[in-house]
Structure 1
Amino acid sequence: MSDIAELKNFVVAHTSSQGLPPEHYDPILDRVAHDDPGGGPGSWVAEWTRAADLLAAQGKPLEASVHYNMARFPFVDGAPRQAALERCTAAFDAWRTAAFPSIGRLDVELPGGRVRCWTVGLDTAQKRPLLVMTGGIVSIKEQWAAVLPQLDAFGFAGVVTEMPGVGENTLPYDADAPAMFPALLDAVAARADVSRTYLLALSFSGHLALKAALRDDRIKGVVGAGLPVRDFFTDTGWQPRVPRITTDTLAHLTGSTPEKVYDLIRDWALTPAELAALRVPVAHVTSLRDEIIPPGDARLLREHVRGIRLLAHDDVHGSPSHFAQTRLWTLLSVLRIAGGYRAERTALTREFAKLRYGADRARVA
């Protein structure tokens, strides 16, 4: 059971990323009175599910999927949220089958569990460079997979999936979690040019991506946002200030408890030497008022990762007020790292500049 005030606060970044305006989601949040894992009228899962069911009945599967995703947020803690997750996946499946049949489904069975993905552009005859996209500890693949048609248009093979323990990913979230990325590359090597792989890895999955890039030279670049580096894992003065939703989610994913989880993950920190050893381009979006990731982590990236490109927003974690800028900049960063795409990069740069100059609190470094 999560604190309702925190739930309502932290879901905003995720509603923003999926195009839901406040005038739409505020009435839903107003109806939420509690977060009983058993559901029931007025519960978080029941009210979001009710809105999703209505959209599904109206023949709007993608919009329904977005609302079912919010119903299972931040993680599955019982039968009602599990049902919401299953309906979210089914609604997305219905949307892609009708609107974008080029989006495929891929299950990668590994010794530790199954990684389920949405894909595009995998082809044995014409292997494309690979872009793998992942979210953080509270976002599932359906939240991001609608970007796949755009990746297809840019000529990438695309794989959108989840962190270990999140959504339908049954791998454990442990010290070996970064190995998921090389395993995914192995799984699609016959249908993509995995020697040119780029990782667009948001929040906590960005931490895994940097670790994977240290070990797998098929990864040619990492673009991330709000990722933990070292201080999040080691700063015992910061950790008690981390929102309870984040701590509870980490405990859930690692099979620990809120009281013990930070001791468990302390050794996962990246060292300055590891950051300096990165030999691939890195781009990162920082939120200057991030209440989850301590400011020292962005500083470490800036000081130790050679040639890093940074975008900073005066915003909280996920920069919900700057999502459009972040979306353009991260895609532009992938294209810069991949090389080529001159016309596309020019167009995206102009579009980003328009948004940036209209939001003078954002800066590019």
Structure 2
Amino acid sequence: MSFVWPQDPRDLFVERYPQMVAFGLPASDVDAVRAAITEMWPDAPGGWVREWSQLADRYAADGRHDLAVLAYGYAKFPTLANEPKRMALARQAEEYQLAAAGFPVDFSRRILTLPHQGGSTQVPVHILAAPDLPADAPVTLASGGVDSWKMDLHSLLVGLALQTRTRIIAFDLAGTGETSHIPMTHDGGTEIIEGLITEARRTGNGQVVHFGLSMGGYYSARTGLTGAVDAAINIGGPVEAAFAPGRTFAFGMEGIVGNALGFNESPSPEEQSAEFAKFNLRHLLDQDTNAPMLVINGADDVHVPQHDTLVFQGRRDTRVDLIPGTGHCAITKLPEVMPVINDWLKRTLGI
């Protein structure tokens, strides 16, 4: 369930450079890797995975496991389309566990066995909590999207754990990261979320929040709209217009999404559009069963139309913020977004 596609690595730097630096990589190191990379897929000098992995190796050798996590995260970016990418993810997981001793939160890694398609499947999760958090605290399920996964979002998740006083259970969506063995079908991906909610209700005081970034925001919008959780935070999630027939993708997203959906070779635009259209949440938007919801995105998002944020305006128990001057998931304005999330969640849960 993987394939490569023609991709100019320069395009990925155009979009992702602000995130690379904002999440903690030194700009000088990112600039050096950017200058060295000439090709996307070969595991050779000038290849994306090789150059990023060499930077990660240097960080690891210097004992900077935190930076190695980020660099290996970009080595495996944007999808696990070949063996070098999968090896980079494995090294990222190793470095993450080595870095855990320096985390300002308590950390544990668990492998959950969850129901899936009439059987079961294993889903690795990372649990983050403030050191003095009581056992009966609420739980926040948290994920990124199709190309930024739980270890890539570490600094954001630590902030959530410390500021919201909830226990974070971080996971990768079906079709991505350490859950790539399951295609991200519209029903199978949802089944994994349902299993995680059940597990989360057993873990703390029974209150469950669902936080999703990008495609993760699609799933948190879904659980929020159905009322399956006690509160839902959707950051930059597609819900309706993004799934419209004929929609085009930017910055290699057609290959990233195609891999997540489980295609073995590059699908035609018609094949991918037909599969993606099944995710449309209009049938839930037409209902009035939602839990309290916070919906945020940047006004200049090239992936998700503004409609998919603004469509939540006027719903009960729902706050909507479309932030000017920033793009997908408002990543470049996270210092402004995080206090909004923290304050809203504390008020909503009565923390």
Amino acid at match of 1:183: G
| Structure 2 Cα separation of the partners of residues 30 and 276 of structure 1 | 50
Counterpart pick for 2:137 among 128, 146, 158: 128
Instruction: State the match for 2:253 in structure 1.
Output: 246
Counterpart pick for 1:197 among 208, 215, 222: 208
Query: Would the aligned equivalents of 1:247 and 1:258 in 2 still touch at CA under 8 Å?
Result: no
Task: Specify the SS of the correspondent of 1:120.
Answer: strand
* Deviation of 1:51 (Å): 0.7
1:228-243 aligned within 5 A: 228-236=238-246, 239-240=247-248, 242-243=249-250
| Structure 1 Cα separation of the partners of residues 325 and 105 of structure 2 | 39
* Deviation of 1:291 (Å): 0.8
- Note if 1:93 corresponds to 2:97: yes
| Structure 2 Cα separation of the partners of residues 311 and 298 of structure 1 | 7
Query: Would the aligned equivalents of 1:286 and 1:311 in 2 still touch at CA under 8 Å?
Result: yes
Counterpart pick for 1:84 among 82, 88, 91: 88
Task: Specify the SS of the correspondent of 1:222.
Answer: strand
Task: Specify the SS of the correspondent of 1:301.
Answer: coil
* Deviation of 1:189 (Å): 3.7
Counterpart pick for 1:156 among 166, 189, 195: 166
* Deviation of 1:78 (Å): 1.0
Query: Would the aligned equivalents of 1:282 and 1:307 in 2 still touch at CA under 8 Å?
Result: yes
Amino acid at match of 1:246: M
Instruction: State the match for 2:298 in structure 1.
Output: 287
| Structure 2 Cα separation of the partners of residues 313 and 339 of structure 1 | 30
Query: Would the aligned equivalents of 1:276 and 1:304 in 2 still touch at CA under 8 Å?
Result: no
Instruction: State the match for 1:299 in structure 2.
Output: 310
Output the TM-score relative to the length of structure 1: 0.83
* Deviation of 1:258 (Å): 4.8
Q: More relative contact order in 1 or in 2 (CA 8 Å, sep 6+)? A: 2
1:350-361 aligned within 5 A: none
More helix, by proportion: 1
Query: Would the aligned equivalents of 1:248 and 1:258 in 2 still touch at CA under 8 Å?
Result: no
* Deviation of 1:102 (Å): 2.5
* Deviation of 1:276 (Å): 4.6
Instruction: State the match for 2:126 in structure 1.
Output: 118
Change (3 A) 1:330 1:245: farther
Query: Would the aligned equivalents of 1:144 and 1:160 in 2 still touch at CA under 8 Å?
Result: no
Instruction: State the match for 1:185 in structure 2.
Output: 197
Instruction: State the match for 1:57 in structure 2.
Output: 61
Task: Specify the SS of the correspondent of 1:103.
Answer: strand
| Structure 2 Cα separation of the partners of residues 189 and 289 of structure 1 | 36
Change (3 A) 1:273 1:187: closer
Task: Specify the SS of the correspondent of 1:318.
Answer: helix
* Larger CA deviation: 242-251 vs 148-157: 148-157
Identity %: 18
Task: Specify the SS of the correspondent of 2:46.
Answer: coil
| Structure 2 Cα separation of the partners of residues 223 and 77 of structure 1 | 30
* Larger CA deviation: 2-11 vs 306-315: 306-315
Query: Would the aligned equivalents of 1:272 and 1:304 in 2 still touch at CA under 8 Å?
Result: no
* Deviation of 1:190 (Å): 3.4
Change (3 A) 1:231 1:43: same
Counterpart pick for 2:78 among 51, 74, 78: 74
Output the TM-score relative to the length of structure 2: 0.86
Query: Would the aligned equivalents of 2:139 and 2:203 in 1 still touch at CA under 8 Å?
Result: no
Change (3 A) 1:128 1:272: same
| Structure 1 Cα separation of the partners of residues 200 and 293 of structure 2 | 23
Structure 1 regions of 5+ residues with no counterpart? 341-365
Aligned residues: 333
Amino acid at match of 1:187: E
| Structure 2 Cα separation of the partners of residues 101 and 325 of structure 1 | 22
Query: Would the aligned equivalents of 1:136 and 1:204 in 2 still touch at CA under 8 Å?
Result: yes
Counterpart pick for 1:310 among 317, 321, 325: 321
Change (3 A) 1:188 1:318: closer
